[in-house]
Amino acid sequence: MTKSVSYFDVLDGLRGTAAIVILVFHYMEMIYPVDYSENFIGHGFLAVDFFFCLSGFVIGFAYDHRLKTIGLKGFFINRLIRLHPLVVLGSLIGLTGFVFNPFVDGTEAGWRNIWLAFSGSILLIPTPFLPFRFGGLFPYNTPSWSLFLEYIINVVYAIVLCRIKKFGLLVLGCICAGWLMYTSYKSGWLINGWDINTIADGFPRVAYSFTAGLLIFRFGWTFNNKLGFIFPFILLMGVFVFPHVDNDWLTEALMVIVAFPLIISIGAGANVTGWMKKMCIFIGKLSYPLYMTHITTVWIFGDYYNKVKPQGVELSVLVACLCLFNLTFAYCVMRLFDEPFRTWLTQKRKQYAKKK
């Protein structure tokens, strides 16, 4: 494989697609909190599993050949610079939205708990005790549960997975697939892992998907093709909009175990040019800022919806405007905070290394 990470443009586009799906899904989840069959994007929550699989592929590509050179410390610093600035910013946004939410009184949680939860949020230590968040591990920025698991699997990768040979990794992948299948069967679906009551279900989700992505890279399971972005995009969206029914644990498990690795294999071997390439790069860059900044407006919308119950055109326009706001805000965060701050951190790190 001769591609540079920056040239996996189709995968960037698929990552951006998944982030936008999560955004829309969370708003729809507030409207249809119980019956997911009414949600036109009822399997949108599986985008997290797609992120984990994509992460395994990209981490393997980026670090398998150079982890010994940069060392564990270098790897962990790289990951912190890449991920943690938005963990902190997302926590600040979430704290502000929680305290100043006009539809519920977040201060009834008590200032001690409010600040304790904020400390946990910026350190990625679960604090599932605030009201109005249904036991979410990270009540200010609930999507951080997947970052919590991403950090854990990154540690496992750096210490264990990078040392395992291909056959051993294949065996491990099969074991993790069985673990994921059992978890899906036991729970009836795969949405769990984000709250204190189902925290254990998040571990097989990240364990299988990350390992599957790593296997795709290690075995070179990428299909060079001329399908471009549209075909894997259709496959991915097909998973997300596939109708949800009660107890469809087997369907969801197969989507994660089979469909997502296949989509990544196709996307990694595809190429795009022109405006499609620019679009894929753009939404790929936007994906992480969008993922880490959108949930506060979703929670406030949910509280508003439960009080006012807007319907019809009013509801559609409101959700569309909020999604547009989230996309615009994420772009501003990307350009004004995330990219320049990470560049500054990288420069400081290089300066420090030179002094040593």
Render pLDDT for 273-296 as a digit per residue (tens, 0 to 9).
999 999 999 999 999 999 999 999
At residue 62, does pLDDT exceed 80?
A: yes
Q: Dihedral (C-alpha) 277, 289, 339, 270: value to the nearest 10 degrees?
A: -20
At residue 74, does pLDDT exceed 80?
A: yes
Helices first, then strands: H and E counts in the chain: 14, 0
Average pLDDT over residues 300-311: 96
Percent of the chain with pLDDT over 70: 98
pLDDT band, residue 356 (cuts 50/70/90): low
Q: What is the crossing angle of helices 67-99 and 295-308, to 10°? A: 30
- Token pair 């997502």 is at which residue? 260
Average pLDDT over residues 103-120: 97
Residue pLDDT, tens place only, 134-188:
999 999 999 999 999 999 999 999 999 999 999 999 999 999 999 999 999 999 9
Residue 126 near residue 196, CB atoms below 8 Å: yes
Q: Which tokens is 42 given?
A: 């009822």
pTM (global) more than 0.85: yes
pLDDT of residue 1: 47
Domain boundaries, the chain: 5-355
